[in-house]
Amino acid sequence: MTPNFPQVWLDATGLYSALPSDGSLGAVMVGGDPVVIQGDDAAKGCPQVTKTPCAGVQAFGHRDMEARGSAAKERVEFTLFTFGTVKDASTLVKDLAEHERKKSAENGEPAKPVTVDAGADETEAMQDGDHVEVVMRIGEVVAHLHASDTKLGNVTYAAKVQIARVKSVSNGVNPDR
């Protein structure tokens, strides 16, 4: 018998806590303050950020992180979206991945699919040169990672950290404790 766990969902405060913090990706990655947008602002902002309809979005948050030091160029942008239903979240995964594929094709050679297994319910990942896009869904939360100048293994690690943080916060656990 499979236990019936509650669906993974986060409110705006949860999104803020689930975004990676300094130190959560090791001592190398640091970033600015997370930004979270909710309600009507999220409904208006999400389509501008993702170039997709974003039906049912309730809030989204964003944080840029980069490798410490001026010589390093490694960078990962984390964006989390929360929806009222799994169906709306799943639609964003498909729409956002398709948008990223089209954008890549317009800029030259189309992105190639890559495998990123981070423990999400649904994952779309692609690589275009030194850029990697990962769009994942866990319950009613969508995580989008945009990485540049970093190895696929590091992106997979960042994706696993992001999913673990979403699960922790969804279960009422502070991921930074």
Each residue's pLDDT expressed in tens, for the chain with a length of 177 residues: 555 556 788 999 999 999 999 888 887 788 888 999 999 999 999 999 999 999 999 999 999 998 877 666 889 999 999 999 999 999 999 999 999 999 999 887 789 999 999 999 999 999 998 899 999 999 999 999 999 998 999 999 999 999 999 999 999 999 988
Spatial distance between the Cα atoms of 75 and 66, rounded to a whole number of angstroms: 4
pLDDT at 170: 94
Angle at alpha carbon of residue 74, lines to 99 and 18, rounded to 5°: 65
51-55 contacts at long range (C-beta below 8 A, 24 or more positions apart): 51/99, 52/92, 52/95, 52/96, 52/99, 53/91, 53/95, 54/81, 54/92, 55/88, 55/91
Instruction: Report yes or no: 81 and 62 within 8 Å, Cβ to Cβ.
Output: no
- Please tell me the pTM assigned to this model: 0.93
Please say whether the dihedral angle defined by the alpha carbons of residues 117, 118, 121 and 123, taken in this order, is positive or negative: negative
Residue 72: its pLDDT value, please?
Answer: 65
